[in-house]
Amino acid sequence: MDDSFSGKTVLVTGGVGVIGSRLVRHLVQRHCNVVVLDDLSSASPWNLDGVDCRFINGSVEDNGTLDLAFNHKPHLVFHLAALFANQNSVEHPERDLIVNGMGTLRLLTHAADQGVDRVVYSSSSCVYGEEAVPHREPGASLHPKTPYQATKLLGEMYASFFHSMRALPVVNARLFNVYGPGELPGKYRNVIPHYIVNALGGFPLEVHGSGDQTRDFTYVDDIVTGLCLCAEKPAAIGQTLNLGSGKEVSIRTVAEAIIELTGSRSEIVSSPFRSWDRVQRRCADLTLSKRLLGFDPRWDLRSGLQETVAWIKNSKEHWVRR
C-alpha cells in the first residue's frame, strides 16, 4: 500500500455492507479519516465493530443527511449506497428510483458543490443485460429487465453528466457478482451466503433451471482493490470500468463447491426461473481496467469461498435461517 490516501477524509456511502465495510477497514489501515453514511437497510452496524470511523445513520436521498456528511469536507467519495437489488426493485420500483436515482443525483450535487477530488460510483454488471460475453465497456442494454438495472445505468449517466457539465472527477465502476465476508443471507441478498447457510444446516441448495447459467463471481478484496485504484489513477477519471474476476463460473459449480467446503449432505434442487432473471452468461472483459488501472484480481473462487464459509461460521450468532 502506498500513502496516496493518507490523511485524506473519505466518505463511503453504504459503508456497512459487504463491500463498504471491507473498503472502510482498508481505508482506515491507510490512515484515512473515514465517514460512513448508511441507513442500515441492508446491513448491521456490527460489521464495523472496532473500526475507527465516524458513522452517520441516514439515507443518501435526504439532503439534510448529505449536508451532515459533507460538512466533514471529504476529499474522496465512494458511492456504494443503493436499494439492493433486482428482486427488491421489482417489488419496490418507486423506492428503487428514489434511492438509486434521486439519492445519486443529490450526492453528486453535493460533491460538485464542494469540489471533491473524486467520486467513484458503484454501478453493476446488470447494466449489460443479455449482451454477448465478455462484457466490454461502455456497452449497456437499453432494454432493462428490472428497475435496478435501469437505475444503476441512470446513476452512471448522472455521473457522466456531472463530469462533463460540472467538471466533477468521477469514475463509473461496474461490479460483477461480489461475495465475501460481511454479507449474511436475507430476502434480497446474494446467492452465496444463502447457499453457505443452507449447506451448514443440511438444507437444499436451489438453482434456477439447470443451474448452468454463468456469473463472474468476484471476491470482495479484489473489488476493494479495484475501487481504490479507481480513486487513485488519473487515467480513470471520466471512465466506465469493469471490476470482476474475468472468469465465468456456473451457479451449479458454486453450489457444488460450497457443499464440498462445508462437508454438507445438502442436495441441489431445481426451481423455475424468475420472470426477470433470464441472463444465461455473465463475464467481465478486464482489458480496459488492466490497462488504465493495473487491475489484477488475485482471488480464485475456491479460496474466496473458503474465507466466506469461515466468516459465516464465526458469525453464527448474527444469522438465523428464515
Phi, psi of 132 (to 5 degrees): -65, 145
In Å, what is the CA distance from 74 to each residue of 67, 125, 280?
12, 28, 40
Q: How far apart are the first and last CA of the chain?
A: 41
Is residue 50 scored above 60 in pLDDT?
yes
pLDDT greater than 90 at residue 185: no
Q: Is the pLDDT of residue 11 over 50?
A: yes
Omega of the bond leading into 234 within 30 degrees of 0 (cis): no
Which is nearest to 118 in space by CA: 11, 243, 7? 11
pLDDT at 189: 74
Q: What is the pLDDT of residues 56-108, one digit of tens each?
A: 999 999 999 999 999 999 999 999 999 987 888 999 999 999 999 999 999 99
pLDDT tens digits along 224-240: 999 999 999 999 999 99
Tell me the pLDDT band of 322, cut-offs 50, 70 and 90.
Answer: very low
Q: Name the helix (H) or strand (E) containing 249.
A: strand 249-250
Collect all residues with Cβ–Cβ distance below 8 Å to 87 and sequence separation of at least 6.
146, 187, 188, 274, 276
Mean predicted confidence (pLDDT) in 173-185: 93
Instruction: Kindly tell me the burial class for residue 164, based on how many C-beta atoms sit within 10 Å of its own C-beta (0-12, 13-18, 19 or more).
Output: exposed
pLDDT number for residue 1: 52
CB 282 within 8 A of CB 167: no
The dotted CATH code for 9-178+218-243 is: 3.40.50.720
Question: What tens digit of pLDDT does each residue of 267-295 get?
Answer: 999 998 877 777 899 999 999 999 999 99
pLDDT at 317: 67
pTM of the model: 0.95
Over residues 166-190, mean pLDDT: 91
Q: Round to whole Å and give the CA distance between 71 and 73.
A: 5
pLDDT in tens, 253-265: 999 999 999 999 9
Dihedral Cα 14, 17, 22, 24, nearest 10 deg: 30
Length of the chain: 322
Measured torsion, CA atoms of residues 180, 184, 188, 189, in degrees rounded to the nearest 10: 10
Percent of the chain with pLDDT over 70: 97
**Fold agreement between 9-178+218-243 and 181-216+247-285+299-318:** no
pLDDT-based confidence at residue 266 (cuts at 50, 70, 90): very high
What nine digits make up the cell of 227? Answer: 475501487
- Angle (CA) 8-10-14 rounded to 5° is 165
User: Using an 8 Å Cβ cutoff, are 127 and 140 in contact?
Assistant: yes
Residue carrying C-alpha cell 453528486: 108
In whole angstroms, what is the distance from residue 20 CA to residue 13 CA?
8
Sign, CA dihedral 41-42-44-45, equals negative
Q: Where are the domains of the chain?
A: 9-178+218-243, 181-216+247-285+299-318
Helix (H) or strand (E) holding 64: helix 63-70
Alpha carbon distance 314, 240 (integer Å): 37
φ, ψ of residue 214 in degrees (nearest 5): -110, 150
Write the DSSP symbol of residue 272. P
Give the orientation angle of helix 103-114 with respect to helix 63-70, to 10 degrees.
Answer: 30
CATH number of 181-216+247-285+299-318: 3.90.25.10
Q: Which residue, chain included where needed, has cell 434521486? A: 102
Cell reading at 196 = 453457505
Q: Is the pLDDT of residue 144 over 50?
A: yes
Q: Is the pLDDT at 320 greater than 80, yes or no?
A: no
318 pLDDT higher than 70? no
